């Protein structure tokens, strides 16, 4: 990924404008910056790479001056200097003035990005590696126009994407949603088409719950699954092998993996 006009992705230098607690474990951080005039996305689950500074640093350290060599240069920086990088989903893009929202799940114990989000304040600076073209490979939700049923499953890390997807769907769309969260306090209001059924799973086995669930009749369903990699793969097998849904109409995205950090996942090539 390069920071050039030819690349679909580029770096954006941004600052925090405000924060808002959405639920006990979800905080929304709004960002602005002159660079956002070059930010373009038509996706509802647009993936982004966010770089935040270590405590005590004013700005995240990423050697973007190295161009295509930034990744290796970033990896070569000392651990206590190198900016913390995490993947997030764009929650909303607003134009005039240009501003974006990212929702952060707050963990206990808190990781470095989660801890940063909990204490974020207006003026705090970050770097974002995001889309410079509206249609790009970091968008995974691509429901076919002929889909007569949408099925969405996600854990708390996929909640921002699910919320954005539901808001953007046409009124006539039939949707069934399952969201796996840790506590009832994480259940929030979601704007969705009238024929939408949202199931909040709190401390339940998602696979067992979905196996027992009935879906409305559909000739051309589309399924989108995102969250912990192991759960995502098991649910994909369920929809393809047990329910007989065409695998080409099942999108699955592993946002994280139990027992592994994002750095370890990237090193493993996942």
Q: Which tens digits make up the pLDDT trace of 102-130?
A: 999 987 777 889 999 999 999 999 999 99
Residue 196 forms part of a structural domain: yes
pLDDT for residue 256: 87
Instruction: Place 1 in a pLDDT band, splitting at 50, 70 and 90.
Output: very low
Question: What tokens appear for 30 in the block?
Answer: 């709004």
- Give the residue-averaged pLDDT of 153-181: 96
- Give the residue-averaged pLDDT of 239-260: 90
Evaluated on CA atoms 181, 225, 30, 129, the torsion sign reads: positive
Same domain as 158, residue 116: no
Same domain as 97, residue 163: no
Residue 207 forms part of a structural domain: yes
pLDDT digits (tens, 9 = 90+) for 136-161: 999 999 999 999 999 999 999 999 99
Residue 3 forms part of a structural domain: no
Residue 197 forms part of a structural domain: yes
Same domain as 94, residue 36: yes
Residue 121 forms part of a structural domain: yes
242 and 208 Cβ atoms separated by less than 8 Å: no
- Cα gap 229→206, rounded to integer Å: 13
Spell out the long-range contacts of 66-73 with Cβ–Cβ below 8 A and sequence spacing 24 or more.
67/2, 67/3, 67/4, 68/1, 68/2, 70/3, 71/1
pTM passes above 0.85 = yes
Number of domains the chain is built from: 2
Domain boundary among the residues 108, 136, 164 is at 136
State the CATH number of the domain containing residue 20.
Answer: 2.40.30.10
Residue 79 forms part of a structural domain: yes
Range of the domain at 16: 9-136
Same domain as 23, residue 122: yes
pLDDT for residue 177: 98
pLDDT for residue 63: 97
Same domain as 126, residue 36: yes
Same domain as 197, residue 96: no
Angstrom distances, CA of residue 228 to CA of 68, 156, 173, 184, 219: 30, 10, 27, 20, 28
% the chain with pLDDT above 70: 93
Question: What tokens appear for 39 in the block?
Answer: 């930010």
Q: Order of strands across the sheet with 221-228?
A: 196-202, 175-181, 149-155, 221-228, 250-256
State the CATH number of the domain containing residue 251.
Answer: 3.40.50.80
Same domain as 165, residue 103: no
Same domain as 129, residue 58: yes
pLDDT digits (tens, 9 = 90+) for 15-59: 999 999 999 989 999 999 999 999 999 999 999 999 999 888 999
Residue 62 forms part of a structural domain: yes
Same domain as 129, residue 13: yes
Domain boundary among the residues 87, 102, 136 is at 136
9 and 102 Cβ atoms separated by less than 8 Å: no
- Cα gap 52→121, rounded to integer Å: 13
Judged against a pLDDT cut of 50, whether residue 2 lies above it is answered with: no
Angstrom distances, CA of residue 185 to CA of 102, 167, 178: 20, 21, 16
């Amino acid at each position: 990924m390069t920071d050039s006009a030819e690349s679909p992705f580029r770096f954006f230098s941004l600052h925090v404008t405000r924060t808002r607690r959405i639920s006990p474990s979800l905080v929304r951080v709004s960002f602005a910056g002159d660079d956002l005039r070059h930010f373009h996305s038509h996706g509802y689950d647009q993936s982004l790479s966010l770089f935040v500074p270590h405590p005590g640093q004013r700005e995240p350290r990423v050697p973007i001056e190295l161009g295509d060599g930034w990744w290796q240069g970033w990896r070569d920086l000392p651990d206590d200097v190198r900016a913390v990088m995490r993947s997030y989903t764009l929650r909303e893009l607003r134009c005039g003035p240009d501003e974006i929202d990212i929702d952060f799940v707050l963990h206990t114990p808190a990781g470095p990005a989660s801890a940063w989000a909990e204490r974020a304040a207006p003026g705090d600076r970050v770097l974002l590696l995001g889309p410079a073209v509206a249609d790009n490979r970091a968008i995974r939700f691509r429901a076919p126009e002929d889909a007569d049923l949408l099925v969405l499953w996600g854990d708390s890390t996929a909640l921002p994407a699910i919320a954005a997807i539901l808001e953007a769907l046409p009124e006539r769309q039939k949707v069934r949603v399952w969201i796996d969260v840790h506590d009832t306090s994480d259940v929030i209001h979601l704007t969705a088409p009238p024929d939408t059924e949202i199931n909040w799973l709190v401390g339940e086995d998602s696979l067992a719950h979905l196996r027992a669930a009935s879906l409305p009749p559909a000739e051309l369903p589309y399924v989108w699954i995102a969250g912990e990699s192991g759960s995502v793969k098991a649910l994909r097998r369920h929809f393809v092998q047990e329910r007989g849904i065409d695998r080409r109409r099942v999108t699955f995205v592993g946002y994280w993996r139990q027992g592994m950090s994002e750095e370890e996942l990237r090193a493993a090539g996942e």
